[in-house]
């Protein structure tokens, strides 16, 4: 019986060794992207089932903040690590799983500090790792573009809770820093076109929501919206100087911009001061009279045709407005004399010959001139 038992044990151990050998052969023959892809799917499945596993009862043992710290955030960080893999299929699968996980409905109840942690602990490190990769390939540019777009989508989707942060300006400036770095990463045409579009979308949404707006004037009191406006464009001007005029052509960069300076009020009339000087060094008296503002204020006398032969009445007479004395010269100025109008010859009509009819009556033929 002992010999039979030993023989059975030997056969069992041989079968176990054979099975282990088959498994090792299967793992060796498996493609290099199969295992990472399966791990990504497993991470996503765990992420989806976290709340269902720990919040079954009416009084769950964990609150949302604890679930984020203990489960959701570590799972998201693990997915983000696969986004820097050297295989394109693994990177695409990891980015897709990360995007689906961040848009999970269970995360809508996270507090502002959790969403700040999501940016600083998951997405910002991911963008930094992708930026530090030196592989020059189109797959890396595509991964960088998708990661940058994912950051912008998460930021806009949860903009309302993020605005309640005391250091929202610091988070926003860090996002602008990544926009600047990704625009010039590897001289990529794909990123140079995609990153400004994502930035435009964020700026338009924030402007429509009234999150930032230009100061009313140079002396206006500062407000969080105007401070954020100045802070934003002060940073964007360093890498996209024409973006402001493209999006907001009628809004100034700052209160000192030419378009924001107050325009002088349109003058409705001017006053002409004429000083009448006394003789022998006497005191001068000033007279003030408004200039004519319409044609109705100027009177022009029409000279009859009978006076055209006189050189003095060749031109129409100009009558000054009431109260304007133009005969008195200005103090210290020599008396001005108007040049006489040139004497133009008066055109005369030649006398037409007179003809007569046969009956003796006369008539004048029409002129051919």
Least confident of 45-59, 115-129, 207-221, 322-336: 322-336
Nearest CA to 161 out of 114, 124, 205 is that of 114
What would the mean pLDDT of 51-65 be, rounded to a whole number?
Answer: 74
Q: Select, from the ranges 118-132, 204-218, 223-237, 331-345, the one with the highest average predicted confidence (pLDDT).
A: 118-132
- Give the other-Cβ count within 10 Å of 73's Cβ: 16
CA–CA dist 20, 182 (Å, integer): 48
Q: Convert the pLDDT of each residue in 65-106 to its tens digit.
A: 999 999 999 999 999 999 999 899 999 999 999 999 999 988
The pLDDT score that the predictor gives to residue 315 is 46
The pLDDT score that the predictor gives to residue 358 is 56
CA distances from 148 to 73, 85, 287 (A): 19, 17, 73
CB of 111 closer than 8 Å to CB of 124 = no
The pLDDT score that the predictor gives to residue 234 is 93
Q: Convert the pLDDT of each residue in 299-331 to its tens digit.
A: 545 445 454 444 444 445 555 556 555 555 555
Mean pLDDT of the chain: 74
Q: Convert the pLDDT of each residue in 339-350 to its tens digit.
A: 555 555 555 555
Q: Convert the pLDDT of each residue in 275-303 to its tens digit.
A: 344 444 444 443 444 555 554 555 545 44
| pLDDT higher than 60, residue 176 | yes
How would you class 289 by CB atoms within 10 Å of its CB: exposed for 0-12, middle for 13-18, buried for 19 or more?
A: middle
CB of 219 closer than 8 Å to CB of 175 = no
The pLDDT score that the predictor gives to residue 169 is 94
Quote the DSSP letter at residue 356.
Answer: E
The pLDDT score that the predictor gives to residue 200 is 95
In the chain, pLDDT over 90 holds for what percent of residues?
Answer: 44
Binning pLDDT at 50, 70 and 90, where does residue 134 land?
confident
Provide long-range contacts, Cβ within 8 A and 24+ apart, for 155-159: 155/119, 155/202, 156/201, 156/202, 156/205, 157/103, 158/110, 158/115, 159/205, 159/206, 159/209, 159/211
| pLDDT higher than 50, residue 259 | no
The pLDDT score that the predictor gives to residue 281 is 44
The pLDDT score that the predictor gives to residue 63 is 85
What would the mean pLDDT of 333-338 be, rounded to a whole number?
Answer: 52
Full-model pTM: 0.62
Q: Convert the pLDDT of each residue in 15-40 to its tens digit.
A: 555 445 444 444 445 578 899 999 99
Binning pLDDT at 50, 70 and 90, where does residue 222 land?
confident
The pLDDT score that the predictor gives to residue 221 is 63
| pLDDT higher than 90, residue 114 | yes
What pairs with residue 271 in β-bridges? 290
Question: For strand 355-356 and strand 317-319, is the pairing parallel, antiparallel, or unpaired?
Answer: unpaired
CA–CA dist 299, 324 (Å, integer): 13
The pLDDT score that the predictor gives to residue 166 is 93
The pLDDT score that the predictor gives to residue 277 is 43
Nearest CA to 226 out of 213, 235, 207 is that of 213
């Amino acid at each position: 019986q002992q010999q039979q038992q030993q023989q059975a044990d030997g056969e069992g151990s041989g079968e176990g060794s054979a099975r282990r050998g088959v498994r090792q052969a299967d793992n060796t023959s498996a493609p290099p992207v199969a295992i990472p892809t399966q791990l990504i799917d497993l991470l996503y499945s765990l992420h989806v089932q976290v709340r269902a596993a720990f919040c079954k009862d009416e009084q769950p043992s964990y609150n949302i903040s604890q679930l984020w710290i203990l489960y959701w955030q570590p799972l998201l960080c693990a997915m983000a690590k696969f986004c820097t893999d050297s295989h394109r299929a693994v990177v695409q699968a990891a980015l897709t799983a990360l995007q689906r996980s961040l848009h999970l409905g269970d995360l809508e109840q996270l507090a502002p500090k959790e969403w700040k942690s999501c940016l600083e602990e998951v997405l910002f490190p991911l963008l930094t790792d992708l930026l530090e990769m030196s592989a020059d390939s189109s797959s890396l540019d595509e991964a960088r573009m998708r990661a940058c777009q994912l950051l912008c989508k998460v930021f806009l989707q949860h903009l309302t809770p993020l605005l309640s942060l005391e250091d929202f300006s610091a988070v926003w400036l860090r996002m602008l820093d990544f926009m600047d770095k990704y625009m010039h990463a590897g001289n990529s045409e794909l990123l140079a076109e995609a990153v400004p579009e994502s930035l435009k979308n964020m700026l338009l949404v924030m402007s429509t929501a009234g999150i930032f707006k230009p100061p009313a004037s140079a002396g206006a009191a500062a407000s969080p919206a105007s401070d954020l406006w100045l802070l934003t464009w002060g940073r964007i001007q360093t890498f996209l100087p024409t973006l402001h005029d493209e999006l907001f052509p009628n809004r100034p960069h700052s209160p000192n911009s030419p378009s924001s300076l107050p325009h002088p009020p349109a003058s409705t009339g001017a006053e002409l001061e004429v000083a009448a000087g006394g003789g022998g060094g006497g005191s001068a008296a000033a007279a003030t009279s408004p200039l004519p503002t319409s044609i109705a204020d100027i009177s022009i006398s029409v000279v009859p045709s009978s006076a055209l032969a006189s050189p003095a009445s060749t031109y129409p007479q100009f009558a000054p407005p009431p109260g304007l004395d133009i005969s008195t010269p200005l103090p210290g100025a020599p008396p001005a004399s108007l040049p006489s109008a040139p004497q133009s010859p008066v055109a005369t009509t030649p006398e037409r010959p007179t003809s007569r009819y046969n009956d003796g009556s006369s008539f004048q033929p029409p002129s051919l001139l």
